[in-house]
Amino acid sequence: MNLSARTKVCALIGHPVEHSLSPIIQNAAFQHLGLDYVYVAFNVKPEDLGYAVLGAKSLGIHGLNVTMPHKVEVIRYLDELDGDARLIGSVNTILNSNGRLIGYTTDGIGVLNALKYAGEDPANKKIIVLGAGGASRSISFSLAKYARELVILNRTVDKAEGLAKDIACSLGIRADTVRFGKLDYSHLETELKDADIVINATSVGMKPNDEETPIKRELLHSGLTVFDIVYEPLETRLLREAKLAGAKTIDGLSMLIHQGAASFEIWTGVKAPIEVMREAALKKIRETHEVSAPQQFKG
């Protein structure tokens, strides 16, 4: 990598970010295509978010990825929102366009492509989404367009209710097709019985708390597709126990790669090399010996 004063800088901001594979994935793509870009990660505490975004703007940083817990709060510091980001109220990608910060969301693209690759069509399915934060907003808005029934469960019920109402109102769909409830054993037991897909859009199970799970093992069954957007570790406790229950599983790496590819294309205007990004991520995972290299992902 030959850096110069002309090198365009892209970065991840979040708290924490030490676990992130995004620098590996994005830098591999830049290098493969010979683009004069570099990608780094910054740990930004919630109280410092405004300073960080305005500092990035002042420094001329070309693009940002935004991860937990900043995806909603970051909007207040931007100059403009893309249509989907405005509709959803969540941003995970920022482009610095001649000094104007434009916010986008690519999480929905990531989850839809991951489901598609796994052979899981969300059309006319009952889908449960765990969580009501920034990632959940993008995922829920995207899937509500296809699902027969969408159920949003969150520890704070008011947030789940607000998200469900936002979706029904914004998309003009029947309120009874988007429901909400508390993320607890009782609601999970009731809703999972006839569910087709469940997506963990919370941070439960992420390292260093990788022995935690949002769903008790006895509630999982073979009729489910269980999708965990956590990718550190790649095989979470939720996914391990889902496999034991005979459920189909999808981990967070595929979503990460596809949403990262969409960000890459926003920043560069160049088609992302999906396979290069995937192989870079898997190589890093193998090197750290965290999990066995999965064979099911093709981007």
SS3 70: coil
Phi, psi of 133 (to 5 degrees): -85, -160
Residue with structure tokens 């870009």? 37
Sheet holding 37-43, edge to edge: 37-43, 8-14, 63-66, 93-97, 100-104, 80-81
Out of 8, 45, 57, 71, pick the active-site residue: 71
Residue 71 annotated in active site: yes
User: How many of the other CB atoms lie within 10 Å of CB of 174?
Assistant: 7
Rounded distance, CA 203 to CA 131, Å? 9
* Cβ–Cβ under 8 Å, residues 247 and 220: yes
Terminal-residue alpha carbon distance, the chain:
24
Residues designated as active site: 71
